[in-house]
Amino acid sequence: MIKIPTNIMLVDDEKDFVEMLAMRLEEAGEKVVPAYDGHMCLDILEKEPVDVVILDIKMPGMDGITTLRKIKLLHPLVEVILLTGHGTTETAIEGMKLGAFDYLLKPADFKDLKDKLAGAKKKKDAQDERIRKAEARQLLRKGGNI
């Protein structure tokens, strides 16, 4: 079976990290678009389809928590995994409360990250599927009225 790649956006101001992890994920069959701050992340979300955002918390300008808030407000279906070197229990809890799918501390085990990505993608797909069905029902109903 051919694996359908997950559309991943990797948001981190550590460019070397973004570059390496992106190549590694692509080597594992995923599709990755990089972003180096919160604004760039939100801009890309307007233009490109993204399933899962891997988001750093400590970034100059707009921090990860603010970015997460905006993602969930503007693109509620996009799943977010927080991945940070600056983790505290408090930020983890705050992130989860704001709707992050999960939380990992850098350097995260690659298998752990892949498992989380798969989980997030599954959740996203299920949501998309529900929406498609709801829209189809709506269309049918409209069609019936004509």
Residue among 48, 61, 74, 110 that touches other proteins (CB under 8 A): 110
At closest approach, how far in Å is the CB of 72 from other proteins? 18
Inter-axis angle of helices 64-74 and 89-97, nearest 10: 10
- For residue 32, give Cα distances in angstroms to 11, 74, 107: 10, 21, 19
The 47-66 contact track toward other proteins, x by CB under 8 A, reads --------------------
Single out the segment in contact with other proteins by CB under 8 A; choices: 36-44, 88-96, 126-134, 136-144.
88-96
- Cβ-contact 64, 97 below 8 angstroms: no
69, 94 Cβ separation under 8 angstroms: no
Nearer to other proteins, 88 or 138 (CB): 88
Contact segment (CB under 8 A) with other proteins among 33-41, 66-74, 106-114, 123-131 equals 106-114
Query: What one-letter code names the amino acid at 15?
Result: K
Using CB under 8 A as the binding rule, whether residue 86 contacts other proteins is answered as yes
Instruction: For residues 35 and 13, give the distance between their C-alpha atoms in angstroms, rounded to a whole number.
Output: 8
Is residue 14 at the binding interface for other proteins, with CB under 8 A as the rule? yes
Residue 119 sits in the site that holds other proteins (CB under 8 A): no
Sheet holding 52-55, edge to edge: 31-35, 7-11, 52-55, 79-84, 102-105
DSSP designation for 76: T
- Indicate whether 93 belongs to the interface with other proteins (CB under 8 A): yes
* Binding-site ranges for other proteins (CB under 8 A): 14, 16-17, 20-21, 23-24, 27-28, 84-89, 92-93, 96, 102-108, 110
